[in-house]
Amino acid sequence: MSAPAAPVAAPGPLTTIWAPTLFVFLWASGYIAAKYTLGYAQPFTVILLRFGIVVGVMAPIVVLGRAPWPRSWREAGHVAVVGVLLQAVYLGGIYAGLERGVPAGVMALIMALQPIITATLVGPLLGERVTLRQWFGLLLGLGGVGLVLANKIHFDFDGWMGLIFSFIAVSGITAATLYQKRFCGETDWRTGTIIQYLAAAAVTAPITFAEGIGTVSWTPTFLLALGWIVVVLSVGTYNLFLWLIHRNAAAKLTSLLYLVPPMTALAGYFAFGETLGPLSLLGMALAALGVYAVVKK
């Protein structure tokens, strides 16, 4: 008679509370840091600088820590695909859309579609079940995000090409989430980071040089914002995101992104004096309730 299967340990507070809370806070801080880089360098120049510095930071960590590399070219290729989707397609699509006139509020609303798209795809692609309560939470969260962004959304622009880039961006992060969960569970995060950023740099470098590097104003503000983007976001938050993918259902994890626009709006209120009216506060509450409905056991 075969031995009974060992019970699966329930997720602890680190996976269910502390790590997701830290992720939302840090992911939201990326929008504030990116805003601080505006005017000091062209967007794609900032992206390429980010990729290069991350590789330079991670290289000695990999060497000194003797981090293992992927066991095969196939595994390395899967890791590179995630890097291109999340760093080149997602980030590049956002910057390209904003450059072509898409308002920041419209861009944020399009990005908020990602949890809905992910929940639609996780069943056929990953075999994950999304319950009726979770669907209700996803729709409630999307409505909350819409209220938070209500006074920042307008469609009086001609940049339809920018909208195309915006939907390319949301497709990139959705595909990266599903691909990472399906194919990249065993790679060491240190060597994986180098592979992903090198792959993303190889894709974005031709675009950056074609548009022109431009001038970079190396002011203290720009250096501080770039340092935050590189160390805290590109190394810390990015790998926290990948870590959470493997320890949570994809629909549950991506629902956390509903909390990013409210957190960003709150940070913008303190950092830039942006308005935060009753409608935004109501939207924050609805977004939080929506996420709670999705992640609640």
The model's confidence at residue 9, banded by pLDDT at 50, 70 and 90, is: very low
Q: How far is CA 2 from CA 5, 6, 155, in A?
A: 9, 12, 63
pLDDT tens per residue, range 111-151: 777 777 777 777 666 777 778 887 888 888 888 877 776 77
Mean pLDDT score of the chain: 80
Question: What is the number of alpha carbons within 13 Å of residue 222 lying toward its C-beta?
Answer: 16
- Give the C-alpha separation, 293 to 297, whole Å: 9
Amino acid at the residue 254: T
Structure token pair of residue 205: 């470098």
pLDDT tens per residue, range 102-118: 766 667 777 777 777 77
- Give the C-alpha separation, 15 to 19, whole Å: 6
The phi and psi torsions of 159 (rounded to 5 degrees) equal: -85, 70
- Could you please report the per-residue DSSP string of 3-26? PPPPPPPPP-HIIIIIHHHHHHHH
pLDDT tens per residue, range 247-297: 765 666 667 777 777 777 777 667 666 666 777 778 778 877 877 777 776
pLDDT in the model for residue 60: 95
